[in-house]
Amino acid sequence: MSNTVLYPGDTIGVIGNSANAAMLVTTARKMGLRVGAYGADETSEALQLADFKAVGSNKDSEKLQHFAESCAAIVYDSDRVSTNVVKFLAQYTRIPQGSDMLEMMQDRLLERAFFEQLNVNIAPYATIINLDDVYQSINSIGYPCVLKPIQKEWSRGRELVIKTQTDIAKAAGLLDWGTYILESQIAYDREYSIIVARDQDGNGQAFPITETQSVDDRPVRTWVPAQVDDAVASEIQRIATEVTKHVSYVGVFEVSFYLTSSGAIYVKKIVPAPSETGYVFEAAANLTEFDQHLRAIAGLPLASAHILTPAVTAAFTTAQLPAMRTQWQLKANWHFTFYHLKHQEDDDVMGHIAVQGDSIKPILDQLDDTGIWSDEATVTPTSAAPDEQA
């Protein structure tokens, strides 16, 4: 495609209500762009920080159209934005990220079809329509496995981990919601991610590989440099390159992986937007994922990302806030970021800390010593405290 450049003073729009929205607004403004934000809550941080705000719902076509026509381009903040909204806005302005990749990654069957097209390892799965399908598929899938709705937006409270045959009966009520997949739970030792930026000409530029510990598919701790051997790193980078070649998308996206004890690599997911795992680069690298994302969107040359210092980010929930207030007074090397999101439950992430150090092991030890994350069901890698990337 022809390279369309945004210059300082041009207007860019931001849609979405995750923590990323405010980060996109502030980064775009630092670049000299005029920024508009669209959302239903006029008190949200993104709308408050923007040069102008448009308050409306995802179904208000008149306001959405007016917002789109006010912007030279629009970016969305996460993989949870409605594809219908993105397609509607694209009728009136440029959406460099497009809707194809977003739509594909919001549908678990489309996502798996894409992975199979790339010929990469994914967890064994089966399509589930009714309870009989679960009983018939369990022999090939094996225990433990997890039942997940096809549409990821329905997932909260509608997933079921099946550890024994007696658990299958619990699926009866869930299946009333629609089509599901039954997916094997991979026993893995490590979890890695790679953030890649794709420019308007289809060229890719990857950030260094990160290592992550997750709970319920949510990254809790992420660090760089990751301990990863050359062969694994090469395969991760190869798969990321293949994804870059086969998508119609501009901006940063994340590809995450499981690594088993036998050295097998499984693709976990793709996030077609800035990702929580990428937050670590603000503390560790010469540029952030939001810098790189907007460089791609604006038609600027992609920068090369380099690690300047080892760093770890750790997410904290509303319930963990009292413990964080204690550490606020004690830890000189903890840097706090609060997301200022509304109507949060106890288990909702409300911010993260970033910790820098000479190596990763002492940082992880320091986090463990606080006991704040001890109740999290984190998957501990074989070597929980890697010092350097191979």
Centroid of chain to Cα 186:
20
Q: What is the pLDDT of residue 374?
A: 85
Task: Name the CATH superfamily for 190-370.
Answer: ATP-grasp fold, B domain (3.30.470.20)
Q: What is the pLDDT of residue 358?
A: 96
- How far apart are alpha carbons 44 and 67 in whole angstroms? 17
Q: What is the pLDDT of residue 88?
A: 98
- How far apart are alpha carbons 339 and 22 in whole angstroms? 8
Question: In 3D, which of 7, 74, 87 has the Cα closest to residue 38?
Answer: 74
Domain 11-95 -> CATH class: alpha beta
Domain boundaries, the chain: 11-95, 124-184, 190-370
Tokens of 165: 């045959």
Residues 6+ apart with CB under 8 A from 139: none
Q: What is the pLDDT of residue 380?
A: 39
* Residue 102 and residue 272 in contact, taking contact as beta carbons nearer than 8 Å: yes
Q: What SS3 string covers 338-357?
A: ECCCCCCCCCCEEEEEEEEC
Helix (H) or strand (E) holding 88: helix 83-89
Q: What is the pLDDT of residue 384?
A: 36
pTM of the model: 0.92
Q: Give the single-character DSSP code of 102.
A: H
Q: What is the pLDDT of residue 174?
A: 86
* Residue 316 and residue 341 in contact, taking contact as beta carbons nearer than 8 Å: no
* Residue 258 and residue 124 in contact, taking contact as beta carbons nearer than 8 Å: no
- Block means of pLDDT (10 residues each) for the chain, length 390 residues? 85 96 98 97 95 96 98 97 97 98 96 96 96 94 95 79 94 87 95 98 98 88 97 98 97 98 96 97 98 98 98 96 95 95 84 97 96 66 36
Q: Which CATH architecture has domain 124-184?
A: 2-Layer Sandwich (3.30)
Q: Give the single-character DSSP code of 261.
A: T
